[in-house]
Amino acid sequence: MPKTLFLLVISASVLLCKTATSAGVDHNLQWQFMNRFVTPNGAVVDTQNEDISHSEAQGYGMLIAVAADDERQFKNLYQWTQDHLAIRDDGLLAWAWDRRENVIGDKNAATDGDILVAWALLRAADQWNEPDYRKAAIRHIDAIETLTVQHGGRWLIKPGPSGFEQEDALHVNPSYWVYPALADFASVHDGPWQAILEDGLALTKQLLETRAVIPDWVKITQEGEISGSGITGEAGRSGFDAIRVPLYLAWSGLGETIGRTHWSRMQSLQSTPPYVLVRDTTEPKVIMEGNHAGYAAIGALVSPSLEPWRFDELAHDYYPAALQLLSRLAAEEGAQS
């Protein structure tokens, strides 16, 4: 899902404590998240994006509900998703719901949102021993598989059904590789998930070998040539999308060095605590500086040696708040593995 293309970074540390059935999130923070960002009928509100609701937010909310062992809220979130976003003929979710007009805001699908929802369903099936959730997850994974392609000598994830192919090039978003979800898909579905996971790791490694940081979007030709993509903004910028790459790598236990390298190159040690926004250039160029507990949590996850910083208060907006809770969950699962 395209977002404002900036990246907020801060040094921190998170609590450690695995799997959807044994690990959880801080129940006070989870309550804050559900109370602040979820409507009574189950829509997660993106407070930094004109208060719309979308598939990514629903997926994050469902994952948090599973981790908190809150099946009532999970059902609420999933029912809203089915009622409002499951309107496409191909089994994918419409990306956005305009809450002000009470209509679909964008019928195109965003693959990361579909991946997150399917993964949450798989985890819910294990958490509550519910076969219907697993059946729903498999149906959803079937639909997601139609967005996997071999292109430029590697397996790639199309960001959506339409709008991302230009001539012989495909525009992709490295943060759409939700690595722990892909690993789980590979264990229950016969799609090319392992190949997609491995090629995603190779792509992020290649990007860091030739760039300062991982961009939000890249363009890959049929010959395999990679360049910065300006499909959603200025070409080569690293921002709110790419910030998720270290989270997903650490959560999966794969490519942790890649995530740590990306993170370390985003920081300005002249700041106290260090934080910086960068764009993808040979040397990171500061666009804007800022701090947020949600983004800090990812830094703590991939850099555990950093000075401890407790997250007693939830971030004020939906996206960093979701990343704050998911980073804590990833840390807990990693500690128990």
Question: DSSP label at 305?
Answer: T
**Of 182, 189, 201, nearest to 116 (Cα)?**
182
Query: How long a stretch of residues is the chain?
Result: 337
The Cα 67–Cα 43 span in angstroms is 18
The Cα 5–Cα 89 span in angstroms is 31
The contacts of residue 8 (CB under 8 Å, 6+ apart) are 240, 243, 275, 277, 290, 291, 292, 295, 320
Distance of CA 122 to the CA centre of its chain: 16
Mapping DSSP to helix (H, G, I), strand (E, B) and coil, where does residue 102 land? coil
Active site residue 98: no
Yes or no: say if 161 and 147 are a contact pair by the CB < 8 Å rule: yes
The Cα 146–Cα 160 span in angstroms is 10
**Of 255, 251, 261, 336, nearest to 297 (Cα)?**
251
Distance of CA 249 to the CA centre of its chain: 11
Question: Which of 56, 216, 241, 280 is flagged as catalytic?
Answer: 56
Question: Which of 26, 46, 70, 112 is flagged as catalytic?
Answer: 112
Alpha-carbon distances, residue 145 vs 88, 165, 174, 195 (angstroms):
15, 17, 17, 12
The Cα 248–Cα 282 span in angstroms is 24
Yes or no: say if 200 and 220 are a contact pair by the CB < 8 Å rule: no
Active site residue 130: no
Q: What token pair was written down for 186?
A: 């590979």
64 residue type, one letter = I
Cis-peptide, bond into residue 304, ω within 30° of zero:
no
Residues annotated as catalytic (active site), given as ranges: 56, 112
